[in-house]
């Protein structure tokens, strides 16, 4: 998960009961197996003393930043979102390294042709 991230910043009040997502995601980020994948990923914790809702700021390796309200999501959902976006970044990088344009535009005729089931396509063409 951390291999797609360059920085994760946690802001929360430790006495606030809404910090479950922050604490769980922080534990996942500090896990040894995640640290080994990307030792350059910064994990920053800012403990607050006010009533500000807990939030997590995620910076991806391409520089995009996402601020998450940690009261309205779970750590598992956040982890899945990071992995999904990371896979998209990996795909984008593969296309760019191969000299292809990004995003890939599939012509409408090709998309419609792919919607026809294979057996019917065989009957039509054969």
Domain ranges of the chain: 2-97
For domain 2-97, the CATH architecture is 3-Layer(aba) Sandwich (3.40)
- The mean pLDDT value of the chain amounts to 84
Please tell me the least confidently modeled range out of 6-10, 40-44, 46-50, 108-112: 108-112
Say what the pLDDT of residue 126 is: 53
The pTM of this model reads: 0.73
pLDDT in tens, 45-68: 999 999 899 999 999 988 889 999
Only one residue has tokens 């997590």, namely 56
- Indicate the pLDDT class of residue 107, thresholds 50, 70 and 90: confident
What per-residue confidence (pLDDT) applies to 113?
A: 65
pLDDT classification of 121: cutoffs 50, 70, 90: low
Tokens of 3: 């291999």
- pLDDT band for position 92 (50/70/90)? confident
Instruction: Count the Cβ atoms, other than its own, within 10 Å of residue 18.
Output: 15
């Amino acid at each position: 998960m951390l291999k797609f991230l360059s920085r994760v910043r946690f802001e929360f009040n430790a006495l606030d009961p809404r910090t479950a997502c922050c604490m769980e995601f922080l534990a996942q980020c500090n896990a040894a197996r995640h640290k080994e994948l990307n030792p350059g990923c910064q994990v920053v914790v800012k403990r607050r003393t006010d009533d500000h809702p807990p939030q997590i700021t995620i910076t991806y390796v391409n520089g995009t930043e996402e601020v998450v309200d940690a009261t309205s999501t779970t750590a598992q959902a956040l982890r899945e979102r990071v992995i999904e976006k990371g896979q998209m970044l990996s795909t984008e990088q593969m296309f760019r390294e191969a000299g292809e344009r990004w995003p890939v535009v599939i012509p409408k005729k090709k998309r419609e042709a792919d919607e026809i089931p294979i057996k019917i396509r065989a009957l039509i063409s054969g």
